[in-house]
Amino acid sequence: MSWGKGKRLYYGPWMNGHKGRTVRLRYMLHHDHEIEVFDAASGEYLGSAELQGQADDATIAQTHAVRADNQRQLERDLKLAARKRTQRYAPVATPQPAQVLGTLTSEEADQELSQARIRRPRPSRRPALMPLPDPDPGWVRPGQPVSAQASALPRDQRRPTDPSTGTLRR
């Protein structure tokens, strides 16, 4: 049976002879090494299934070490980018326009721009969001004076306003 991130394969010895059976899965978060399988129609417990092809402890330790190295490298890159982004200005003794310090050769600029094109993350794929419908006329809308909100309602549904402040009375 395949399920989960990357379509992981799960198997239990009780599964022999149950090909094509419709089932429901239950699992505990953060414990994706084992799932519980139930019949879809009756809800009867069929058994548990274990993740196939699990990595050994040494491979998992290597993976965690590589992730930690990647994190440290990204942190160093972030500090370097912050340092490069900072603009410095020349000191002045009298009021005058600010003069930006720091020079950059065209080769250095081309190199940074080419690296930026390579490293630029792809935009996330978000589904097209449906626009919200306009609110009902009686809803309080930001930026509208209270009198305009109240006049949008029929006279029998309006709440009285305080004439001195223009706010709604409670």
- Tens of each residue's pLDDT in the chain, 170 residues: 777 667 888 899 998 888 888 999 898 888 888 999 999 999 999 999 999 988 999 999 999 999 999 999 999 999 988 988 888 899 999 999 998 887 788 898 888 888 877 766 666 666 677 777 887 877 777 776 666 545 555 655 655 555 555 555 55
Cβ-in-10-Å burial (0-12, 13-18, 19+) of 51 comes to middle
